[in-house]
C-alpha cells in the first residue's frame, strides 16, 4: 500500500464515520472481521467482536449512543498489509486504529486503542 492509498483509505474511513453511515463504514471490512477494542469491552463485556453481523450490531449501538461522534484525522502510518490511523474523537480523546488487510483489500482485523 502506498502512502497515497493509505491516506485515501483513512480519509474515506473517517468521512464514513463522521457521516454516521454504517453501510459505508462496514464496506471496508471482510465478512470474518475481528475487532479488538476497549469500547467493545465497555459496551458488550468483551473486547473482541467477531464477524460482520456482530460488528454491525455493535457499531449500531455505538452510533445510537454517541450522536455527536466525530473523528479528526491526525496522520496515517503504513506497514506491510496494514496501516494505522491516528486521530482524535469528538471528546478530544486520542486514538490509533490499526487495520490489517486481506488480499482483496478488505479489513480482516482492526485494533482500536485510545488514550
Each residue's pLDDT expressed in tens, for the chain with a length of 115 residues: 899 999 999 999 999 999 999 999 999 999 999 999 998 998 888 899 999 999 999 999 999 999 999 999 999 999 999 999 999 999 999 999 999 999 999 999 999 999 8
Residue-level pLDDT at 115: 84
Write out the CATH class of domain 3-114.
alpha beta
Residue-level pLDDT at 47: 93
In the block, cell 475487532 appears at 35
Report in angstroms the alpha-carbon separations of 80 from 3, 31, 35, 63, 89.
12, 21, 19, 31, 26
Give the rounded distance of the alpha carbon of 13 from its chain centre: 7
How far apart CA 14 and CA 77 sit, in angstroms, is: 15
**Would you list the domain boundaries of the chain?**
3-114
Amino acid at each position: 500500500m502506498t502512502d497515497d492509498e493509505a491516506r485515501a483509505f483513512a480519509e474515506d474511513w473517517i468521512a464514513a464515520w463522521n457521516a454516521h453511515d454504517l453501510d459505508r463504514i462496514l464496506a471496508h471490512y471482510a465478512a470474518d472481521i475481528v475487532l479488538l477494542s476497549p469500547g467493545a469491552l465497555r459496551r458488550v463485556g468483551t473486547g473482541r467482536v467477531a464477524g460482520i453481523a456482530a460488528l454491525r450490531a455493535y457499531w449500531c449501538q455505538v452510533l445510537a449512543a454517541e450522536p455527536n461522534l466525530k473523528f479528526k484525522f491526525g496522520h496515517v502510518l503504513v506497514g506491510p498489509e496494514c496501516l494505522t490511523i491516528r486521530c482524535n474523537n469528538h471528546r478530544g480523546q486520542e486514538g490509533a486504529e490499526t487495520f490489517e488487510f486481506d488480499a482483496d483489500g478488505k479489513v480482516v482485523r482492526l485494533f482500536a486503542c485510545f488514550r
